[in-house]
């Protein structure tokens, strides 16, 4: 039975894996941006509370370059309060450490609730692209 050899198309696997990682990065970043907006507003969408600070007013899209490829971010718009994220610096279009941070969090088994704390800590440790 040594005649049955399985051959793998490495290029196809790498491309599919890269697409999967890019989609995962995009989904995670968009979820984190929405969570940060909810925290700033102090209420979920359509929720009525006494300590509400502002209101959701849709999203706008922007491209963001990562080592896995371009991702489309859906940045929340808020009324009554300015949205400033701790994940991505304002006007920044390219980030090298986003994937590294997400991979570290995944490997460490970090819960989604702890991601916000970790991304805040990573912000102070960022290294410009190409200098790490």
Report the first-to-last Cα separation within the chain, whole angstroms.
Answer: 48
Separation in Å, CA 61 to CA 11, 22, 117: 31, 16, 25
**What's the pLDDT tens digit per position in 118-131?**
555 444 444 344 43
**What's the pLDDT tens digit per position in 96-125?**
566 666 677 767 777 766 666 655 544 444
Q: Does the reported pTM lie above 0.85?
A: no
What is the arithmetic mean of pLDDT over 20-40? 90
Domain locations in the chain as residue ranges: 11-124
Q: What share of the chain is helix, strand, coil (3-state, %, to 5)?
A: 45, 20, 40
Among 6-15, 53-62, 65-74, 116-125, the range with the most confident prediction by mean pLDDT is 53-62
What is the arithmetic mean of pLDDT over 41-48? 81
């Amino acid at each position: 039975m040594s005649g049955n050899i399985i051959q793998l198309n490495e290029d196809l696997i790498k491309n599919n894996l890269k697409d999967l990682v890019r989609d995962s990065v995009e989904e995670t970043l968009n979820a984190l941006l929405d969570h940060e907006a909810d925290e700033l507003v102090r209420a979920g969408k359509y929720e009525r509370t006494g300590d509400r600070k502002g209101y959701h007013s849709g999203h706008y899209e922007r491209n963001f370059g990562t080592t896995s490829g371009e991702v489309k971010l859906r940045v929340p718009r808020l009324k009554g309060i300015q949205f400033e994220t701790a994940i991505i610096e304002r006007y920044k279009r390219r980030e090298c450490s986003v994937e590294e941070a997400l991979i570290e969090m995944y490997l460490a088994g970090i819960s989604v609730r702890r991601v916000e704390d970790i991304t805040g800590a990573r912000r102070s440790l960022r290294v410009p692209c190409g200098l790490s």
